[in-house]
Structure 1
């Protein structure tokens, strides 16, 4: 440790700036006059006698008369014991802080603005760790790798994970091993994009791309705000880009977390005469309680209709989108995120042939 660092450490240990400078000087000189200590340490001469007296009272030095006032350092055992005691207390305090620390929620508000990307990434990792059924991501390969352990755990909990992984225009999609086992489907966006993590239709983390002029992050814990980010994700970060990885195949049964994709598949199948059944998990919109149901798909509902009788496209399904399900004792309408006029808001749909 150099002299400046030692002086700074002694100041942290409780010595005044002049005391620390004088004591380190005495250690270097061995035995010296008070005048020599003042000259070497930079302590003003009128102050040196009070400073040495305070150090002597604390047991750091001793003074004696020999024509002039002389000073020498005491054997440092007592001082070393004091420093070690302080170090032990600091270490114990650090351990106590670590044991008691728990990251607080950001003010308990629906939307919080933060300055550091690390805060956004850490909160995204926490949200992913608590996910129940759905995760949507817009990430770089590096950020996906940072979240991968939490994503693997989420997949083990049967959470449906979609990842839009963005790179530079000339950069290839990363190795398949990065995404395998950590997501259900991945697409490759060959343009820079913001970091987005949407979890369970409730929680969202967002921050601009690092090269953006505006640098801040947003943490959301609110369904309505998250719904806006969902449509941004769907239209800008997901739909236009090619699927480069999909777990499983397109046979039956098929699983959906977005009713719009379900309706896209169901509509032509019903038109060709297929008989289909669904198992639905979601929320009863009358009671707000979790519910599940099974039944035969009687019809699909979407407004507005595709122009000129065209095919159903996800971008056109910004209005009502629903399945009409016959449970045997009556029919119910099953909608998706943001459902208002339907009976059930689905969070997961499994489609099978009868």
Structure 2
């Protein structure tokens, strides 16, 4: 670094122009009379004494009398400490600027449009980190790896994690071991797809596939808008595609993230003659408070012939009735209003 650049940098670090100029001159001179420092710098001779004393007050130099006022630079430890502290503050400021630019704060009910995919990934990480019961994710393998630590932490907290991995080649084979400890269940969609991340039925991230003409992302902190992304995930990115990994073995307990999946599977068991116990995690629709309960299934109510229904013909109102210690409790799916409980995690524990 040349002298001019060093002087400019010291000015940026908080020294006045005269202080920076005099200090750099003194570094080159070693020990010198005040008048020599003035001659070697751009500091006017009448000002040099005040400038040197101000540098001494900062701990950068020391002055002493020897026929005339002389000065010498201290060990640079104080200067280095000041520069390091200033550099740290600048780095933190740069990080905060980037954070505020990339990650606009989302208040409840907000939706934001962003232009950088990395912003979507960063927000997905934070949504997954704050999830308490459910994460649904549509992603490439590459982006899955970026989210690996967040997904592992979520699983360790007992969060249900369902992932739809999309690839551009149908021949791609996914190693099930890759997902152990990171996911509850994985489906494989051998077609390009958007990136989608849903957390706790309230927060959503969406970004077009990188090859798409439209390149933008959507961040949502709102149950109603997230519900739209949920149905897109369910019908286009999850339901039609092959399951390639499941954390549980065959048998009980069996966990469901949608009451419709539960009702569809109940057609295959004789639940009326062979009682089925269901553990429910969800929200009380009257109070909005979280609730946990367990009971025996007593009825399944759908507005059509449930025996004949396949796939998502179950898209209408679906209710499962339980006997919970002699009390009737009705359980619905996402957005349940007329039922007693909106079920977020349904586990057959028979």
Q: For the superposition of Structure 1 and Structure 2, which TM-score range results when normalised by the shorter chain? A: 0.7 to 0.9
Q: Distance in 1 between matches of 2:16 and 2:276?
A: 82
1:200 maps to what in 2?
200
1:168 maps to what in 2?
168
**1:270 counterpart SS class:** coil
Q: Could you tell me how far 1:202 is from its partner in structure 2?
A: 0.9
For the aligned residue pairs, the C-alpha RMSD in angstroms reads 4.2
Deviates more, 1:106-115 or 1:246-255: 106-115
Contact 1:267 1:300 in 2 (8 A): no
Q: Distance in 1 between matches of 2:120 and 2:341?
A: 32
Is structure 2 residue 305 aligned with structure 1 residue 343? no
After TM superposition, list the pairs within 5 Å mapping 1:85-234 onto structure 2: 87-94=83-90, 106-108=105-107, 110-113=109-112, 114-170=114-170, 172-234=172-234
Deviates more, 1:262-271 or 1:82-91: 82-91
Deviates more, 1:340-349 or 1:325-334: 325-334
Q: Distance in 1 between matches of 2:46 and 2:237?
A: 71
| Deviations 1:226-255, CA, capped at 9 Å, x for gaps | 111100000111111111111122312212
CA spacing shift, 1:261–1:54, aligned 2, 3 Å:
farther
Q: Could you tell me how far 1:340 is from its partner in structure 2?
A: 1.5
2:279 maps to what in 1?
279
Q: Which runs of 5+ in 1 are unaligned?
A: 25-47, 60-73
| Deviations 1:97-121, CA, capped at 9 Å, x for gaps | 6999997861525334222222221
CA spacing shift, 1:8–1:116, aligned 2, 3 Å:
farther
CA spacing shift, 1:3–1:121, aligned 2, 3 Å:
farther
Q: Distance in 2 between matches of 1:166 and 1:144?
A: 10
1:310 maps to what in 2?
308
Q: Could you tell me how far 1:148 is from its partner in structure 2?
A: 1.0
Q: Distance in 1 between matches of 2:216 and 2:323?
A: 48
Q: Distance in 1 between matches of 2:243 and 2:85?
A: 56
CA spacing shift, 1:11–1:215, aligned 2, 3 Å:
farther
**1:292 counterpart SS class:** strand
Q: Distance in 2 between matches of 1:14 and 1:347?
A: 56
After TM superposition, list the pairs within 5 Å mapping 1:14-25 onto structure 2: none
Q: Distance in 1 between matches of 2:194 and 2:155?
A: 24
Q: Could you tell me how far 1:290 is from its partner in structure 2?
A: 2.0
Q: Which runs of 5+ in 2 are unaligned?
A: 25-41, 53-70
CA spacing shift, 1:204–1:96, aligned 2, 3 Å:
closer
| Deviations 1:251-299, CA, capped at 9 Å, x for gaps | 1221222111111111231378432121212222122222222222112
Q: How many residues align?
A: 322
Q: Distance in 2 between matches of 1:175 and 1:4?
A: 59
2:331 maps to what in 1?
334
Q: Could you tell me how far 1:81 is from its partner in structure 2?
A: 8.8
1:352 maps to what in 2?
349
**1:317 counterpart SS class:** helix
Structure 2 length-normalised TM:
0.74
Contact 2:13 2:86 in 1 (8 A): no
Structure 1 length-normalised TM:
0.74
